[in-house]
């Protein structure tokens, strides 16, 4: 989620007021509408991706994990389930490595709130709800207070995050969060800074909020001082399986077939400072290396360009100089006629018409993303999408010089480890539903 606009302000009010093990959370892809076709899913996912591209933004001794699940064919994000407050109220939130803020909708919601699958979190019902002082290091208003006299006790920081046409607004607070799907593996972490939103657009339907997993100080990864985290996203066609997000020491990747590539240092300026940049050096389709300019994915000194990996974006976007090479290579291997009807239905640029709605697509070679020191191999199901006789390239183009994004559709069935401490991304092909 990129190019974020954040407005903050100070408000004063009288509000009620341990260390963590690791965290384990299940992931599920959002079921935004079980009746949507794959083409409708892609169209809606692309719309959400565009909104977020325009607005991106534990002290751990053991394991923290969260169940994660993907949505129905109508959704393009993956949800992690966690609980907030005391007594804990469970809620599903979009797991987003492209932003930092943790937030959920709060009652009473006097503004505009989207329909969510769980009850609204009510601060008045929690005994651990507390103020996050405006001069806290985790306050979004702290920068504005630098060098100023301390604010009155009880002041809080209001925010308005604008993600393109999507947005959320509220007040920063402090709460206890509970991770884990059963009492035996639950971990409670107090003092988590989060956003208590009382007005939001409807771009987050299927969830009850969002959890930022980026590099910034407000992200769950940073607040837990996790050091590393991992996930394995189950396939989009599998709407019943769940996988798990691990944060902390239990996030590991062992065995054969593991590849590792270093993160590219993020620019210091926001919002680019929150992204996980990778050095993509080239792309092959089958045994053919594509003629992509060597600097197509370079991160420029002014913060433009580069490629990030993002769990909160669905469809991979490539700068046009690279996308056109991928597109041409796919066209050269597929003898089916192209169809504008499929492009209109999905919003994708390249679609082919199968002989009938029940026809199987032709065999295609794997696509390989050549990162610095590591190759990520994508089977055809990770870069092509099938829907009712239409078969489309599940990628889109970006203006040359713009940021490219490796989305979650391309990450399915790959176990991915973010080692933030060692500045390394590791990955291995895995049947994620078996983890």
Span 410-419, average pLDDT: 96
What pLDDT score does 184 carry?
A: 72
In whole numbers, what is the pLDDT of the chain averaged over residues?
A: 84
| 163 has a pLDDT exceeding 80 | no
| 84 has a pLDDT exceeding 70 | yes
- The whole-angstrom separation of Cα 426 and Cα 434 is 19
Same domain, 428 and 319: yes
**What is the torsional sign of CA 273, 279, 285, 286?**
negative
Secondary structure of residue 232 in the 3-state scheme: strand
Q: Which residues contact 60 (CB under 8 A, 6 or more apart)?
A: 20, 21, 22, 23, 224, 225, 226, 227, 247, 248, 249
Q: Kindly report, residue by residue over 295-308, the tens digit of the pLDDT.
A: 999 999 888 999 99
Same domain, 133 and 26: yes
* DSSP annotation of 290: P
Question: How would you classify the pairing of strands 414-419 and 23-29?
Answer: unpaired
What pLDDT score does 65 carry?
A: 60
- The whole-angstrom separation of Cα 288 and Cα 291 is 9
| 166 has a pLDDT exceeding 80 | no
| Final residue before a domain boundary, out of 194, 216, 247 | 247
Span 189-211, average pLDDT: 91
Tell me the pLDDT band of 149, cut-offs 50, 70 and 90. Answer: low
Q: Answer yes or no: is 56 within a domain.
A: yes
Query: Cis omega (within 30 of 0) on the bond before 104?
Result: no
- The whole-angstrom separation of Cα 310 and Cα 402 is 15
Beta bridge partners of 315: none
Q: Which of 13-22, 171-180, 192-201 has the lowest mean pLDDT?
A: 13-22
Q: Answer yes or no: is 253 within a domain.
A: no
Same domain, 184 and 238: yes
What pLDDT score does 186 carry?
A: 84
- The whole-angstrom separation of Cα 166 and Cα 96 is 15
Contact, 195 vs 103, CB < 8 A? yes
| 165 has a pLDDT exceeding 60 | no
Q: Kindly report, residue by residue over 328-372, the tens digit of the pLDDT.
A: 999 999 999 999 877 777 889 999 999 999 999 999 999 999 999
CATH number for the domain harbouring residue 141: 2.40.70.10
Enzyme catalytic residues:
96, 310
Backbone Cα Rg of the chain = 21
- The whole-angstrom separation of Cα 145 and Cα 211 is 26
Tokens of residue 175, six digits: 């709460």
Q: Give the rounded percent of residues in the chain with a pLDDT score beyond 90.
A: 57
Same domain, 216 and 321: no
| 427 has a pLDDT exceeding 50 | yes
Same domain, 26 and 92: yes
Rounded to the nearest 10°, the torsion over CA 44, 50, 53, 54 is: -130
Same domain, 61 and 120: yes
pTM: 0.88
User: Residue 301, class by beta-carbon neighbours within 10 Å (0-12 exposed, 13-18 middle, 19+ buried)?
Assistant: exposed
Q: Kindly report, residue by residue over 9-67, the tens digit of the pLDDT.
A: 444 332 232 334 467 788 877 644 445 566 665 666 665 565 444 433 333 334 466 65
Contact, 372 vs 281, CB < 8 A? yes
Span 181-194, average pLDDT: 86
Tell me the pLDDT band of 153, cut-offs 50, 70 and 90. Answer: low
Tokens of residue 40, six digits: 């409708």
Tokens of residue 114, six digits: 């989207």
Q: Where are the beta strands (DSSP E) in 78-186?
A: 78-84, 89-96, 102-105, 130-131, 155-163, 166-179
Q: Which of residues 347 and 283 earns the better pLDDT score?
A: 283
Q: Answer yes or no: is 254 within a domain.
A: no
Same domain, 270 and 140: no
- 36: closest CA among 208, 211, 204, 206? 206
Tokens of residue 89, six digits: 């109220």
Q: Answer yes or no: is 218 within a domain.
A: yes
Tokens of residue 159, six digits: 């925010």
Same domain, 222 and 263: no
User: Residue 191, class by beta-carbon neighbours within 10 Å (0-12 exposed, 13-18 middle, 19+ buried)?
Assistant: middle
Q: Kindly report, residue by residue over 111-136, the tens digit of the pLDDT.
A: 789 999 999 999 999 999 998 887 78
Tell me the pLDDT band of 292, cut-offs 50, 70 and 90. Answer: very high
Domain count, the chain: 2
Measure CA 68 to chain center: 12
Span 239-251, average pLDDT: 87
Span 245-254, average pLDDT: 91
Q: Answer yes or no: is 232 within a domain.
A: yes
What pLDDT score does 159 carry?
A: 87
Span 77-87, average pLDDT: 93
What pLDDT score does 64 carry?
A: 60
Span 408-430, average pLDDT: 96
- 3: closest CA among 215, 144, 210, 161? 161
What pLDDT score does 7 carry?
A: 54
| Final residue before a domain boundary, out of 215, 247, 279 | 247
| Final residue before a domain boundary, out of 214, 247, 280 | 247
Range of the structural domain that residue 410 is part of: 259-434
| 4 has a pLDDT exceeding 60 | no
């Amino acid at each position: 989620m990129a190019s974020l606009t954040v407005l903050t302000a100070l408000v004063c009010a009288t509000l009620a007021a341990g260390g963590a093990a690791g965290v384990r959370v299940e992931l599920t892809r959002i079921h935004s509408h079980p009746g949507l076709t794959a083409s409708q899913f892609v169209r809606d996912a692309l719309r959400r991706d565009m909104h977020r591209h325009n607005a991106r933004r534990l002290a751990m001794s053991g394991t923290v994990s969260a169940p994660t699940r993907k949505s129905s064919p109508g959704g393009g994000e993956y949800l992690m389930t966690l609980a907030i407050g005391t007594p804990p109220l469970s809620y599903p939130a979009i797991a987003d490595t492209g932003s930092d803020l943790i937030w959920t909708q709060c009652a009473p919601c006097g503004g505009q709130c989207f329909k969510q699958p769980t009850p609204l979190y009510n601060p008045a019902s929690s005994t651990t709800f507390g103020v996050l002082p405006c001069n806290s290091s985790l306050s979004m208003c702290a920068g504005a207070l630098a060098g100023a006299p301390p604010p009155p006790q009880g002041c809080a920081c209001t925010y308005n995050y604008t993600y393109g046409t999507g947005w959320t607004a509220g007040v920063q607070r402090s709460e206890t969060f509970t991770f884990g799907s059963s009492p035996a593996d639950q971990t409670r972490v107090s003092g988590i800074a989060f956003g208590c939103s009382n007005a939001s657009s409807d771009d987050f339907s299927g969830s009850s909020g969002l959890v930022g997993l980026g590099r910034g100080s407000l992200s769950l990864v940073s607040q837990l001082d996790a050091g590393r985290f991992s996930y394995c996203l189950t396939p989009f066609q599998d709407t019943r399986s769940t996988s798990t997000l691990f944060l902390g020491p239990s996030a590991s990747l062992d065995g054969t077939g593991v590849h590792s590539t270093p993160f590219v240092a993020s620019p210091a300026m926001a919002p680019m400072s929150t992204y996980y940049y990778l050095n993509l050096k080239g792309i092959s389709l089958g045994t053919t290396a594509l003629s992509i300019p060597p600097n197509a994915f370079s991160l420029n000194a002014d913060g433009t360009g580069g490629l990030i990996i993002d769990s909160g974006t669905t469809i991979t976007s490539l700068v046009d100089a690279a996308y056109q090479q991928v597109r041409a290579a796919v066209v050269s291997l597929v003898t089916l006629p192209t169809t504008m009807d499929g492009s209109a239905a999905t919003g994708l640029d390249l679609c082919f018409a199968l002989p009938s709605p029940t026809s199987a697509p032709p065999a295609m070679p794997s696509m390989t993303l050549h990162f610095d020191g590591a190759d990520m191999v994508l089977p055809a199901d990770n870069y092509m999408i099938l829907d009712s006789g239409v078969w489309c390239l599940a990628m889109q183009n970006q203006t040359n010089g713009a940021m490219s994004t490796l989305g979650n559709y391309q990450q399915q069935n790959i176990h991915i480890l973010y080692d933030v401490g060692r500045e390394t991304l590791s990955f291995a092909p895995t049947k994620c539903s078996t983890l």
